[in-house]
Amino acid sequence: MQDKDTINKSQSGLFLPTFTAGATIFFSSVCIMAIELVAGRLAARQFGASLYTWTSVIGVTLAGLTIGNYIGGRLADLFPTRPTIGWLFGVCSWACVAAIALNNLVGEWTFLWHLDLGARVLGHIATVFFIPSTLMGAVGPVAVKMALEPNQPRGRTVGRMYALGAAGSILGTFLAGFWLIAAIGTVNTMWLVAGVMLAGAFVYLPKSVGIYLSAAPVAFLIVVGTTSAVWAERFGSAMSLRQMRTPDLLYETESQYCYIAVSQMTKQPDERRFVQDNIQNHGRVIMGNIRDLRFFSLRAYAAVARRFARGKEKLCTLSIGGGGYVFPRYIEDVWPGSRVDVAEIDPAVTEAAMRAFGLATDTSIHTINLDGRNYVDELLQRKRLGEQIPQYDAVYMDAFNDLSVPFQLVTRQFNEKIFAILAADGVYVANLIDMFDSGRFIASFVNTARQTFPYVYVIRKPSRNDLPTNFIVIAGKRPVNLENLNTEEQLANTPFWVLDDNDLAALRGKTGWTILDDDYAPVENFMVPVVYQASAAAMAEKYISQANKLNAEGRWEKAVSKLRLAIRTCPALSEQAYHLMARILIDHDRLIEAVTVLRTALAQTKTGETKFDLPLLHYSLGIVLNRLGDTLEASKHFAIATELLRAELAGNNGGSADMFSRLGQVEAASGNMEEATLCFEQALEREPDNITRYVVLVEALAAQERNKEAMRRLDEGTRYMLSKGRKEEADQLEKLGRRLESEKSNREKSE
């Protein structure tokens, strides 16, 4: 018989490999789930947290694990288990580093942008995360083989390994989802996994020279990717391992829900931008001037609010989605003493707004950190229990974008809940992004709203029918007067359309009269055309930007090639690309080619339903024809441009500063300087903050030798800029004044 010490040693020898194998599987499962959640968060920054995003993340992870399990089984039969696991951990650490770099690079791969939304998201995530998932999936079978090597009971041992793997997955999910990502950030979580994998490699191969040699670069890159030193930021940015922190970034954080940042767009005035995940312009504000609403949707909200608030000193409003708290602060400022509630699920959004976006810490705005639907459900439950709940004058929906739409906030059931918490004359106002050409989301939203609300209206921001734009839906218990809405201050100089019955009928017919329901709300599918066209437009804009850069560098022929590529990529932006192409050709005296380009653009534009750039194209063609000596043909195009612009100005929505400025340019080119001056004055009246408006007006006055008026306008502009603290622009106007005085003096001497 064996003595007791021999038996204990034998049992210890059997226990150690089994324990090590179980710990390995547990540990690798923690890392796998951390990477899966990281993948979802990183993808959300580009595509939003949509159904497509999480479907792709889960599918790619499972595919990687499946293939990894198969490969791991083959490796377990071919090689010793301990060194195999060590090398797998080492390669996994490299794969995690590569995934960080790839995620920054893949977003710039324009060929992916040609795919529809599902394929694009899947392609992006598979490129970045498939290999790490596969390598981690290979660890499990090798570890199971190691656990079985001491002749342990097979069924019990395999069951134990599976259980430990599942337990590790649970811990990894909770650890990353509830703590790690919010505590250290998404990318840093990935760096942590890379570091932990590297440590695992050393555990299994403590004496391997090869692992030390291969691990040194990984360790160095981890330092580069995680430290705040300037050299690390620069080197990491060059290696695509991190984003270079720009000087305009004022605030940055990452919560359990999203990535949040605040950046400064201009210093004078101090205009800031609020970023949430993929929404680069979730909010914009001029610090200290909350009434200067920068977005069309918010200006429309304000105009509608003034209509239904006639005779009310205070309002009771609910905003679903806080964003930068711009519109709730507008209500707070315009109607002091109002009850302003905000249902914002993420407390970090409120914190960011307070720390860097102008929301006062002692604000009267009441924030409820719940999903909008959960808060409305809570209100109705309290009402059923006999409690008094607020009856809102208006509920504002600010939770939609062009990539992800929370389906639970668009259904008939949710609309009925909103109806129940509105006052007798209350309105529900929502901002949607869609294209009129496809219109499946806006059409289904309107169809659904009409099931609950007797009065539904739609305001549309002007755009081509084949480009995404804002649709403001107003649903009321009583009629809302939208006639002459442009007389309201916030929309006075903003072009917009109020859709008539024919427009609404055309919209409602696009989806076969779909009603969105809690059991059927395929909003992601409805948004696919929007996302595809937005991607094409973004890619075309990238080509146009590259063309501008190439032209500035003197490589104008390559710039023209880029513009032709932009036209093929997104025909909806062809007018813009053609106009820039013509301008480049004109600058290089290729006037005949410029005429051909502009005529091509005009021929294509005339086939479209909207012609917003048509006056500009006629104006540009007139300029070129004038230079070629064909003044008669040029005057025809100037006349057409003038007619089109005046027709737009005569519309019931007034004219913008840009529209008046453009008309002034056409009138000046036609020789009608007095008319041009009147237009430039209108542009300045609408946009006094824009120094270009002063410069153009003053030069027009000087061209007519109306020098006293020109100097008076210069003095007004200089004093205005100084009052706003914009000394550089005031100096620019003073310099213009000195130049005009000098030119006047020279003319007088020559005479």
Judge whether residue 377 has pLDDT over 50: yes
Residue 364 structural domain: 302-521
Structural domain includes residue 437: yes
Which whole number is the average pLDDT over 14-29? 80
| Alpha-carbon torsion (420, 423, 424, 425), positive or negative | negative
pLDDT of residue 609: 45
Identify whether residues 314 and 450 lie together within a single domain.
yes
Distance (Å, rounded) from C-alpha 98 to C-alpha 135?
13
Query: Which of the four pLDDT bands, split at 50, 70 and 90, describes residue 208?
Result: confident
Query: Which DSSP helix (H) or strand (E) runs through 650?
Result: none
The DSSP bridge partners found for residue 266 are: 271
Identify whether residues 173 and 316 lie together within a single domain.
no
Instruction: Give the chain's mean pLDDT.
Output: 86
Query: Which of the four pLDDT bands, split at 50, 70 and 90, describes residue 11?
Result: very low
Distance (Å, rounded) from C-alpha 701 to C-alpha 693?
12
| 279-283, 548-552, 664-668: the lowest-pLDDT one | 279-283
Structural domain includes residue 750: no
Alpha helix (H) residue ranges in 553-690: 556-569, 574-587, 591-605, 614-627, 631-649, 657-669, 673-686
Phi, psi of 4 (to 5 degrees): -65, -40
Q: pLDDT per residue over 649-681, tens digit each?
A: 775 455 678 888 889 999 998 889 999 999 999
The DSSP bridge partners found for residue 431 are: 472
In this predicted model, which residue has the larger pLDDT, 241 or 447?
447
Closest CA to 117 of 523, 464, 570, 515: 523
Judge whether residue 228 has pLDDT over 70: yes
Which whole number is the average pLDDT over 103-117? 74
Query: With contact defined as beta carbons under 8 Å apart, do 560 and 581 qualify?
Result: yes
Structural domain includes residue 624: no
Structural domain includes residue 579: no
pLDDT of residue 478: 93
Query: Which of the four pLDDT bands, split at 50, 70 and 90, describes residue 343?
Result: very high
Judge whether residue 415 has pLDDT over 50: yes
Identify whether residues 407 and 335 lie together within a single domain.
yes
Structural domain includes residue 327: yes
Closest CA to 92 of 74, 121, 60, 68: 68
Distance (Å, rounded) from C-alpha 88 to C-alpha 91?
5
Query: With contact defined as beta carbons under 8 Å apart, do 278 and 48 qualify?
Result: yes
pLDDT over 70 percentage in the chain:
94
Query: Which of the four pLDDT bands, split at 50, 70 and 90, describes residue 6?
Result: very low
CATH for 389: 3.40.50.150
What's the structural domain count of the chain? 2
Judge whether residue 610 has pLDDT over 60: no
Distance (Å, rounded) from C-alpha 256 to C-alpha 244?
23
Judge whether residue 155 has pLDDT over 80: yes
Identify whether residues 408 and 503 lie together within a single domain.
yes
Residues 6+ apart with CB under 8 A from 238: none
| 3-7, 151-155, 343-347: the lowest-pLDDT one | 3-7
Identify whether residues 194 and 313 lie together within a single domain.
no
pLDDT of residue 655: 67
Structural domain includes residue 257: no
Tell me which of 219, 238, 257 is where a domain ends.
Answer: 238
Identify whether residues 209 and 317 lie together within a single domain.
no
Total residues found in the chain within this entry: 751
Tell me which of 499, 521, 543 is where a domain ends.
Answer: 521
Which whole number is the average pLDDT over 60-78? 94
Judge whether residue 42 has pLDDT over 70: yes
Query: With contact defined as beta carbons under 8 Å apart, do 467 and 541 qualify?
Result: no
Distance (Å, rounded) from C-alpha 325 to C-alpha 283?
8
Query: Which DSSP helix (H) or strand (E) runs through 722?
Result: helix 707-723
Identify whether residues 234 and 310 lie together within a single domain.
no
Which whole number is the average pLDDT over 562-576? 87
CATH for 134: 1.20.1250
Identify whether residues 217 and 319 lie together within a single domain.
no
Tell me which of 521, 545, 561 is where a domain ends.
Answer: 521
Structural domain includes residue 552: no
Query: Which of the four pLDDT bands, split at 50, 70 and 90, describes residue 330?
Result: very high
Strands 271-276, 259-266: pairing is antiparallel
Which whole number is the average pLDDT over 287-314? 90
Query: With contact defined as beta carbons under 8 Å apart, do 140 and 114 qualify?
Result: no
Give the predicted TM-score (pTM) of the model: 0.78
3-state DSSP of 303-327 = HHHHHHCCCCCCCEEEEECCCCCHH
pLDDT of residue 606: 53
Identify whether residues 435 and 336 lie together within a single domain.
yes
3-state DSSP of 150-168 = CCCCHHHHHHHHHHHHHHH
Q: pLDDT per residue over 427-449, tens digit each?
A: 999 999 999 888 899 999 999 99
Identify whether residues 181 and 326 lie together within a single domain.
no
Identify whether residues 208 and 355 lie together within a single domain.
no
Strands 339-343, 316-320: pairing is parallel
Identify whether residues 225 and 335 lie together within a single domain.
no
pLDDT of residue 65: 93
Query: With contact defined as beta carbons under 8 Å apart, do 663 and 649 qualify?
Result: yes
What tokens does 575 get? 């007018």
pLDDT over 90 percentage in the chain:
40
The per-residue DSSP string of 515-547 comes to --BTTB--HHHHHHHHHHHHHHHHHHHHHHHHH
Structural domain includes residue 674: no
Query: Which of the four pLDDT bands, split at 50, 70 and 90, describes residue 8?
Result: very low
Which whole number is the average pLDDT over 81-99? 91
Cα distance from N-terminal residue to C-terminal residue, the chain: 129
